[in-house]
Amino acid sequence: MMAQTAVLCLLAFAIPLGIEVFLGNLALSAFLLFRFSTAAQAKWRYFFSQCKQLPKLGKLNLFVLLVAALFKSALAPLILDNESYYIQTIKWINEYGFVPGLANFNVSFGQSSPWQVLQAGFNFHFWTNRLNDINGFLLLVCSVYFLLEFEKRYRDSKRFHWIGALLFFNALTFQFINAPSPDFPVMLLGQIALFLFLNSENQLNEQSKMAIILLIFITFVKITVAPLSATLVVLLVLKNKNFGFAATVGSCFGLIWLAKNALLTGFPFYPFAFGGLNVDWRMPDGLLQFINRMIADHEFLAIPNYKTLSLGEKFVVWIQFSGIDGFFNKGIVLLFLIAPFTLEFRTIQNYRIAYLFALVHFTIVFVSSPQFRFFLIDFLFLSAWLIMSICNKIKLQPQLFRLGYVFSAVCPIAIALLIDFKSFTANEHMQKSEQIELQQLVIPEPNSKNYEVGFETFTEENLKYYSPTPNFFYYGTGDGPLPCTNVNIIELFKQQLNIIPQMRTNELKDGFYSKEIGRTSTNEQQ
């Protein structure tokens, strides 16, 4: 998966990720499978032997997870970012690859997470617009890993391990699996990296190397996790003396990340403002500063005079949020307060180190942009740790623990059918209920929940673009034809920054630049 992501990113610099790339990838994968068939067969035999050792409830859990994941992946996504930029980002990669200055057209498209590049390589866009569900596949892979590692450790020690407690959080993780959110691999692969870190030995071994690869990869996918992953990588390097390995892996992913950012935004270290290139597609400094302020203040935009609040005052406001935000905000603080009283914290040094780095990561997230999705990796880890500690303390019967994770696999479908989302969020888009039907297993819902929305053509000098009508939310773009953005975004930056996006040539593949205008410029609707 990680190698695929790197290769597809490299290809996206030169060509669209269309059917030719898919067929070439398929042929190469078949060749490698044939070439290394002996090793592959050995891996599969080992995997099936591990599955056979699972207790009946463990096997039942795998079956329920598979069915629930298929149903959930087939539903229309609820995640708001899917409608603002996930779908459009992937469409650009499918049809053009990486486009110079794409951030000038829509600043959100400039992110183009490598995770969405991976999705673009496997979404069969040449056949259907219903299969942006790579997160569903990742959930199944990680859940199997969590389950097998938990059962193996319980057989050996007769003690519960936190890796198994992660299976209790399907009600949360399932909300991410039908949209290609890059927060999801950070959440799940981050847990595997933490698991390997906590179990790594003082020598260069496969566990420590895999932990380093995963930590670097999730940073490659989502830069917001860099404070946590970078510190853990440094610690692993110092402990295991594997600087050469970490430097090689980091350089491979890092160079791709820098080149991608440079091409899409003109800033190799995007979203950081330093090191901007002298190219015509470079984002204006004002646009970069504007979007960074919007991200930093995201949680407080509805608060009067939020710009005058001190850090302490922001914390008081933040901890009192209601709904989903309030649940996770209060929960993460409570978890940080409780964890030091657990047996593992008092007796195992690696747990204290992981706790410290999670706390540092959370602190940086809070100072920069305290959105709960950015600290879910910490929330899941600390929650699973606490569940493990309680279960071991009370000597819970293993069958009850297993019943718990089977029940949690059923929860996502029950939530989709029974929960009224109006009690959790005021966002009308997120309040839409999900309808589960058997036919969705054969024909999934479209990638956009707003697939019936029409699109209107607008013109800004040499740029003709599409915008949804009716406008289902301020930043919405849905599954519109390229080039598609929202007229609200164009007007916002026209009024606030006196800029409009323009095509660099007559071809979309050649990208965009931002043109300074006077305040008298008007929008000509066609």
Residue 422 has a pLDDT of: 53
Widest distance between CA atoms in the chain: 74
Between 279 and 271, where is the model more confident?
A: 279
Residue 518 above 80 pLDDT? no
Which runs of consecutive H residues, i.e. helices, occur in 395-474? 398-418
What is the Cα–Cα distance from 503 to 182, expressed in whole angstroms?
A: 28
Q: Per residue in 126-161, pLDDT tens?
A: 999 898 899 999 999 999 999 999 999 999 999 999
Q: Tell me the average pLDDT across 84-108.
A: 97
Distance separating alpha carbons of residues 139 and 181, to the nearest angstrom: 12
DSSP designation for 270: T
Q: Which two tokens stand for residue 345?
A: 């914290």
User: Picking from 160-174, 206-220, 223-237, 428-442, which range would have the lowest pLDDT averaged per residue?
Assistant: 428-442
Q: How confident is the model at residue 238 (pLDDT cuts 50, 70, 90)?
A: confident
What residue ranges do the domains of the chain occupy? 2-307+391-399, 454-525
H or E element in which residue 460 lies: strand 454-460
Nearest to 5 by CA among 195, 219, 153, 165: 219
pLDDT at site 524: 42
pLDDT(279) > 60 = yes
Please report, rounded to a whole number, the percentage of residues in the chain having pLDDT higher than 70.
92
CA distances from 210 to 141, 187, 190, 233, 298 (A): 16, 16, 12, 11, 35
Q: What pLDDT digit, counting tens, does each position of 354-373 carry?
A: 999 999 999 999 998 899 99
Helix runs in 106-179, H state only: 114-121, 134-157, 162-165, 170-173
239 vs 138, 201, 232, CA distance in Å? 30, 9, 10
DSSP labels, 366-388: HHH---GGGGHHHHHHHHHHHHH
pLDDT at 418: 57
- Confidence at residue 75, expressed as pLDDT on a 0 to 100 scale: 86
**Digit-coded pLDDT (tens) for 414-439:** 766 555 555 545 555 555 556 666 67
Does pLDDT of 390 surpass 90? yes
Between CA 244 and CA 252 the distance in angstroms is 12
pLDDT of 7 strictly over 90: yes
> Quick one: pLDDT at residue 522?
41
**What pLDDT is recorded for position 451?**
87
pLDDT of residue 436: 66
Omega prior to 470 cis, within 30 of 0: yes
Cis check for the bond before 180: say yes or no (omega within 30 of 0): no
- The model carries a pTM of 0.92
**Max mean pLDDT range (69-83, 120-134, 329-343, 393-407):** 329-343
Which helix (DSSP H) or strand (DSSP E) does residue 456 occupy? Answer: strand 454-460
- What average pLDDT does this structure show over 319-331? 93
What's the whole-number average pLDDT of the chain? 90
Give the sign of the dihedral formed by CA 229, CA 118, CA 105, CA 176. negative
pLDDT of 50 higher than 90: yes
d(CA 408, CA 313): 37
Q: Do 449 and 432 contact (CB within 8 A), yes or no?
A: yes
Contact 143, 65 (CB under 8 A): yes
Report pLDDT for 526.
41
Query: Which of the residue ranges 68-77, 140-149, 336-345, 427-436 would you say has the lowest mean pLDDT?
Result: 427-436
Average pLDDT on 67-92 reads 91
pLDDT in tens, 194-220: 999 988 665 557 888 999 999 999 999
- Token readout for 146 is 């969590």
Query: Does residue 393 have a pLDDT over 90?
Result: yes
* Residues contacting residue 449 through CB under 8 Å, at least 6 positions apart: 76, 77, 78, 82, 83, 429, 432
Handedness of CA 206, 207, 212, 218 (dihedral sign): positive
State what percent of residues in the chain have pLDDT above 90. 70
Token pair 């995963």: residue: 214
Q: Write down the pLDDT at residue 241.
A: 80
- What lies within 8 Å, CB to CB, of 341 at 6+ separation is none
Bridge partners of 26? none
For residue 159, the tally of other CB atoms under 10 A from its CB is 11
Q: For residue 101, is it left (φ>0), alpha (ψ between -120 and 50) or beta?
A: left
Q: Report the chain's C-alpha Rg in angstroms.
A: 24
Look up tokens 């970012």; give the residue.
81
CA distance 257 to 111: 10
Cβ neighbour number for residue 10 with a 10 Å cutoff = 14
**Cα 456 to chain centroid, rounded:** 30
pLDDT of residue 519: 57
How many Cβ atoms sit within 10 Å of the Cβ of residue 103?
A: 31
d(CA 150, CA 162): 8
Alpha helices in 348-458 (DSSP H): 349-368, 376-394, 398-418
